């Protein structure tokens, strides 16, 4: 098999705080192949953003401690110089952020902001950068790009601003695009448009995409592979069919059960996952999800479950339950109304 | 743009009118104030006072007096001081260049040094340099300008005047630029530095706080994600947006100083500026001079705030009229 585009090996990211060391990411490993769309799903504080910010080395907090390796095209990004990292950022790996209202600098025109990145990475003549910026704006579906290029971010709507952000991210044709909750701050109708746009552009630009979200519904359509994160660890990994039709980890069940679905017979209350994520300062022994897990038993308290292949074919999970038990129990969480009638 | 200017000019007129009426009323409402008695010299007869009152129009109704004074300031420009019996307008016009020279020079120094200090403190946050600079800034803010000025004078004019570093410092006073540019410059170096110390400290602290706040903005992270250099992130993104507060502060402080707020510095260094003029007129309750300097000051403050709004719109496109 060819070398993956991005390989994260046992990444640990911690922050020194007054209360102790907060381990935001606790030893995660995964790969992203060229052109692949990987969804990272998890609730707030599960470490998904920190993981991808680490890949970009964008965490400016002086109290951060990194361990592990981040191999991009075989090069360990943790060890390259700051200048070499700058060349990777924007040109090789680009990032779209959650809130398009604040992610663009309010005092420069959108064209200026796109041109700034182009000029940083390429030797362009005066008119070239502007022409390219205008083309990009057209590609992301902004009407009248020749005029809008001289507008400031506040003159765009939220969805349009996110399109500008996407144009900015794609301006240097990156091999990897990291989208950190790109639709969370947008209206539902706009969300679908933006996801559609990312999908189309992935095809046109051939970039691999890592899509970070807390909403499994968002990745359902576009991700090839899905990582489910909980408390700084990956608890389940598999392709789309595996995660949606054969979920192994009770946390994934909980996430699936909390999606509103219109294809089900009768409306019901959405099941919420009870409780809060654990403190990342003093992680309890055993499974991190145990305190919130209705399926927990003695072994969960004593032993830390490892992320391993249990059902085969690239489908990994970190749960002590046997595959049979999981299959028997999960419907009660994911779709209780079906379980009742069965 | 045209509407902006028209609106601003109208606003200026309103402010000047309000300020002048207020000063006028305060003056006449102040107990024990009788300019005629003051002008009449020692032990005046009732007749003398009455004559003086008549001569200066002080026996007319207040609105008429106000109107006359405005006419003398703006139309015939021949308002006479109660104290020195000289024309007020030329006096102000000769004091204004002194104040302007002082404040402009100090402003250049304080802008440059406060930006450098603020930037350095923000960049070296987490090292010993940041708290060191901030303590220096705090000291700068805390030192009273009249004390600092006297110490500077003591050093440069007497104790160490023989020392080669200070031997070039001319005696206190002001030399017009048109008369001798070099002497003008030499005489103002220490007043400039003295006046700017407070503002350097203050502006550096404000700028540092703004820089640190802006550093956490999402668009700064976006700028980093674009792969541009730290230096460019700092100057083109973080500093640029942090300057918005800086500029609005500057406009007001500058206006106040030009309008006569540099009084203490002017007194200590013997600079016959507007502040000094205001000070003397206040001690002798010389209404024509008070009135003219106040109007002059209000004019500059209003003008400065209009200029700030212009620069503000240039710095921040969000406030530009569509």
Residue B79's pLDDT is 79
Measure B223 CA to nearest chain A CA, in Å: 8
Confirm or reject contact between A151 and chain B (CB < 8 A). no
Residues of chain B where predicted confidence (pLDDT) is lower than 50: none
List, in order, residues 6 or more apart from A323 with CB less than 8 Å away: A248, A310, A311
Measure A179 CA to nearest chain B CA, in Å: 12
State pLDDT tens for residues B97-134.
Answer: 999 999 999 999 999 999 999 999 999 988 899 999 99
Q: Which residues of A touch B314 (CB under 8 A)?
A: none
Please name which of B34, B3, B200, B41 lies closest in space to residue B112, comparing C-alpha atoms.
B200
Measure B212 CA to nearest chain A CA, in Å: 12
Confirm or reject contact between A218 and chain B (CB < 8 A). no
Of B225, B240, B315, the CB nearest to A95: B225
Of B218, B229, B230, the CB nearest to A97: B218
Q: How confident is the model at residue A342 (pLDDT cuts 50, 70, 90)?
A: very low
Q: Which residues of B touch A161 (CB under 8 A)?
A: none
For chain A, the average pLDDT equals: 86
Q: What three-state secondary structure class fits A277? A: coil
pLDDT, mean of residues A41-46 = 86
Residue A11's pLDDT is 93
Q: Reply yes or no on whether the pLDDT at A93 is more than 90.
A: yes
Q: Which residues of A touch B316 (CB under 8 A)?
A: 106-107
Structural domains in chain B, CATH included, are: 2-75 (no CATH), 88-319 (1.10.3720.10)
pLDDT, mean of residues A237-246 = 88
Q: What three-state secondary structure class fits A73? A: coil
**SS3 letters across chain B:** CHHHHHHHHHHHHHHHHHHHHHHHHHHHHCCCCCHHHHHCCCCCCHHHHHHHHHHCCCCCCHHHHHHHHHHHHHHCCCCECCCCCCEHHHHHHHHHHHHHHHHHHHHHHHHHHHHHHHHHHHHCCCCCHHHHHHHHHHHHHHCCHHHHHHHHHHHHHHHCCCCCCCCCCCCCCCCCCCCCHHHHHHHHHHHHHHHHHHHHHHHHHHHHHHHHHHHCCHHHHHHHHCCCCHHHHHHHHHHHHHHHHHHHHHHHHHHHHHHHHCHHHHHHCCCCCHHHHHHHHHHCCCHHHHHHHHHHHHHHHHHHHHHHHHHHHHHCHHHCCC
The reported pTM is: 0.82
B228 contacts A117? CB cut-off 8 A: yes
Smallest CA–CA distance from B214 into chain A, residue: A105
pLDDT, mean of residues A42-51 = 87
Question: A residues 222-281 near B, CB within 8 Å?
Answer: none
Of B218, B228, B241, the CB nearest to A107: B241
CA distance A105 to B240: 10
Measured on CA atoms in the order B46, B50, B51, B52, is the torsion positive or negative?
positive
Looking at per-residue pLDDT, the higher value among A132 and B261 belongs to A132
ipTM score of complex = 0.86
A62 contacts B218? CB cut-off 8 A: no
Measure A152 CA to nearest chain B CA, in Å: 7
Q: Which residues of B touch A117 (CB under 8 A)?
A: 226-228
Residue A305's pLDDT is 86
| Beta strand extents in chain A (DSSP E only) | 6-17, 20-32, 37-41, 64-72, 75-76, 93-96, 176-180, 208-213, 225-230, 233-239, 308-312, 315-317
pLDDT, mean of residues A18-41 = 90
State pLDDT tens for residues A272-291.
Answer: 777 778 788 877 788 888 88
Helix, strand, coil percentages for chain A (3-state, nearest 5): 40, 25, 40
Q: Count the neighbouring beta carbons within 10 Å of the beta carbon of residue A54.
A: 23
Q: How confident is the model at residue A216 (pLDDT cuts 50, 70, 90)?
A: confident
Q: Reply yes or no on whether the pLDDT at A113 is more than 90.
A: yes
Element housing A200 (H / E): helix A188-205
Residue A293's pLDDT is 84
> Which residues of B sit within 8 Å Cβ distance of A?
126, 215, 217-219, 221-230, 236-237, 240-241, 315-318
Q: Count the neighbouring beta carbons within 10 Å of the beta carbon of residue A78.
A: 16
Please name which of A320, A98, A214 lies closest in space to residue B218, comparing C-alpha atoms.
A98
Element housing A81 (H / E): none
- Cβ atoms of A161 and A104 closer than 8 Å: yes
- Cβ atoms of A178 and A96 closer than 8 Å: yes
Looking at per-residue pLDDT, the higher value among A339 and A54 belongs to A54
Residue A211's pLDDT is 93
Residue A266's pLDDT is 62
Residue A341's pLDDT is 47
């Amino acid at each position: 098999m060819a070398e993956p585009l991005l390989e994260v090996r046992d990444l640990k990211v911690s922050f020194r705080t007054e209360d102790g060391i907060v381990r935001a990411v606790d030893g995660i490993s995964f790969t992203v192949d060229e052109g692949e769309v990987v969804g990272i799903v998890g609730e707030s504080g599960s470490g998904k953003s920190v993981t991808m910010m680490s890949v970009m080395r964008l965490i400016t907090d002086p109290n951060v401690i990194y361990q592990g390796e981040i191999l991009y095209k075989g090069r360990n990004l943790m060890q390259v110089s700051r200048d070499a990292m700058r060349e990777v950022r924007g040109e090789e790996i680009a990032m779209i952020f959650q809130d398009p209202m604040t992610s663009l600098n309010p005092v420069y025109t959108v064209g200026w902001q796109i041109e700034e990145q182009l000029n940083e990475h390429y030797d362009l003549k005066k008119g070239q950068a502007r022409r390219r910026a205008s083309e990009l704006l057209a590609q992301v579906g902004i009407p009248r790009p020749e005029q809008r290029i001289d507008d400031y971010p506040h003159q765009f709507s939220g969805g349009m601003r996110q399109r500008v952000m996407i144009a900015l991210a794609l301006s240097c044709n990156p091999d990897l695009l990291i989208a950190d909750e790109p639709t969370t701050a947008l209206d539902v109708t706009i969300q679908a448009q933006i996801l559609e746009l990312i999908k189309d552009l992935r095809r046109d630009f051939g970039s691999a995409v890592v899509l970070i979200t807390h909403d499994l519904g968002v990745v359902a359509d576009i991700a090839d592979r899905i990582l489910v994160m909980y408390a700084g660890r990956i608890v389940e990994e598999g392709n789309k069919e595996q995660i949606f039709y054969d979920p192994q980890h009770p946390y994934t069940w909980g996430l699936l059960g909390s999606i509103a679905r219109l294809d089900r017979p009768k409306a019901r209350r959405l099941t919420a996952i009870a409780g809060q994520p654990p403190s990342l300062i003093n992680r309890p022994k055993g499974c991190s999800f145990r305190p919130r897990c209705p399926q927990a038993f003695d072994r969960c308290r004593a032993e830390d479950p490892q992320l391993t292949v249990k059902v085969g074919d690239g489908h990994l999970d970190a749960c002590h339950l046997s595959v049979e038990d999981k299959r028997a129990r999960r419907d009660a969480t994911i779709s209780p109304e079906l379980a009742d009638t069965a | 743009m045209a509407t902006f200017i028209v609106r601003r000019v109208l606003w200026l007129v309103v402010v000047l009118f309000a300020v002048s009426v207020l000063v006028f009323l305060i003056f006449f409402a102040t107990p024990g104030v009788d300019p005629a008695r003051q002008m009449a010299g020692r032990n005046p007869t009732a007749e003398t006072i009455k004559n003086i009152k008549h001569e200066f129009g002080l026996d007319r109704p207040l609105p008429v007096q106000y109107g006359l004074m405005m006419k003398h300031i703006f139309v015939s420009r021949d308002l006479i001081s109660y104290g020195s019996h000289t024309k007020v307008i030329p006096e102000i016009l000769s004091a204004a260049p002194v104040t302007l020279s002082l404040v402009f020079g100090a402003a250049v120094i304080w802008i440059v040094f406060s930006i450098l200090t603020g930037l350095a403190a923000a960049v070296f946050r987490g090292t010993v340099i940041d708290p060191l600079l901030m303590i220096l800034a705090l000291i700068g803010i805390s030192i009273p300008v009249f004390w600092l000025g006297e110490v500077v004078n003591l050093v440069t004019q007497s104790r160490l005047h023989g020392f080669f570093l200070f031997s070039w410092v001319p005696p206190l006073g002001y030399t017009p630029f048109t008369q001798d540019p070099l002497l003008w410059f030499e005489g103002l170096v220490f007043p400039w530095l003295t006046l700017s110390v407070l503002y350097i400290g203050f502006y550096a602290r404000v700028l540092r706080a703004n820089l640190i706040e802006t550093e956490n903005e999402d668009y700064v992270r976006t700028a980093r994600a674009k792969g541009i250099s730290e230096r460019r992130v700092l100057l083109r993104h973080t500093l640029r947006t942090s300057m918005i507060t800086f500029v609005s502060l500057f406009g007001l402080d500058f206006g106040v100083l030009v309008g006569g707020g540099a009084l203490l510095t002017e007194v200590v260094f013997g600079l016959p500026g507007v502040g000094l003029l205001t000070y003397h007129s206040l001690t002798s309750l010389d209404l024509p001079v008070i009135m003219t300097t106040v109007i002059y000051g209000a004019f500059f403050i209003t003008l400065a705030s209009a200029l700030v709004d212009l620069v503000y719109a240039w710095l921040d496109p969000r406030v530009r009229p569509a």
